[in-house]
Amino acid sequence: QVQLQESGPGLVKPSETLSLTCTVSGGSISSRSYFWTWIRQPAGKGLEWIGRIYTGETTNYNPSLESRVTISADTSKNQFSLKLISVTAADTAIYYCARAISASAFDFWGRGTLVTVSS
Amino acid sequence: QSVLTQPPSASGAPGQRVTISCSGSSINIGHNYVCWYQQLPGTAPKLLIHTNDQRPSGVPDRFSGSKSGTSASLAISGLRYEDEAEYFCAAWDDSLKGVFGGGTKLTVL
């Protein structure tokens, strides 16, 4: 059974960098069969696709966030990470990591981690 | 403002059939597969339907999906109290990003 677990600070100051890591067990992030994805959800609102990484190297980002986002992978630790620079209160959300079996089919999710941007 | 459009709410009595719609455009639903998710309060979304109408293992056949042109629908038959949740549609957009609907809150009366 594949499991994903997000980790990282729950509080980030405005203008600073949000950094999260997703640790995957039960499956390899180097697999050519899946995309490893970050998705976020502001409280009481809908889901926003942030970006994905494939085979530990190829990335795609949401154009609305592309100038601020980097997704990377550490295949030796079977982890992938999210960095979002210059955060504002609008970046406050629950951040999920998920495995995609196709472009928009996310079959395994982490529990999510709440990140609050506040001074 | 979500790229895909869903009604904010839907409701039905136990045993009834409910349909939730999802409207997009030619560069997302019109050109790519649609997925549906169920999100219970305080939990991560759960994949219900992928590739327009395919159920992952373990999803009851009470849940079904369909797509026509630039719109898609999720139908839930034999409604149960445990189906009360938020439902999201999703698709790939040809602008190279995943897109979601704003979510539909289903109430079982």
User: In this complex, do B33 and A62 lie within 8 Å of one another by their Cβ atoms?
Assistant: no
Sequence-separated (6 or more) residues with CB below 8 Å from residue A11: A115, A116, A117, A118
SS3 (DSSP) at B93: strand
pLDDT (0 to 100) of residue A78: 95
Closest C-alpha to B18, from B62, B60, B80, B75: B75
Q: Which two tokens stand for residue B15?
A: 């045993």
**Widest Cα–Cα separation across chain A:** 41
Residue B83: what are its φ and ψ, rounded to 5°?
-80, -5
List the 36-55 stretch of B: residues with Cβ below 8 A of A. 37, 43-47, 50-51
pLDDT along chain B (109 residues), means of 10: 94 97 97 97 96 96 97 98 97 93 96
Closest C-alpha to B93, from B9, B31, B18: B31
Q: Do residues A15 and A104 make contact, with C-beta atoms less than 8 angstroms apart?
A: no
Q: What percent of chain A has pLDDT over 90?
A: 94
pLDDT (0 to 100) of residue B1: 82
CA B39 – CA B48 distance, rounded (Å):
10
Closest C-alpha to B36, from B78, B73, B70, B79: B73
pLDDT (0 to 100) of residue B55: 97
pLDDT tens for A42-79 read: 998 999 999 999 988 899 999 999 999 999 999 999 99
User: In this complex, do B33 and A105 lie within 8 Å of one another by their Cβ atoms?
Assistant: yes
Separation in Å, CA A71 to CA A14, A37, A51, B23:
20, 9, 7, 30
CA B93 – CA A78 distance, rounded (Å):
28
pLDDT tens for A77-106 read: 999 999 999 999 999 999 999 999 998 999
Q: Do residues B107 and B10 make contact, with C-beta atoms less than 8 angstroms apart?
A: yes
A21 strand-pairing partners: A7, A81
User: In this complex, do B35 and A104 lie within 8 Å of one another by their Cβ atoms?
Assistant: yes
pLDDT (0 to 100) of residue B99: 96
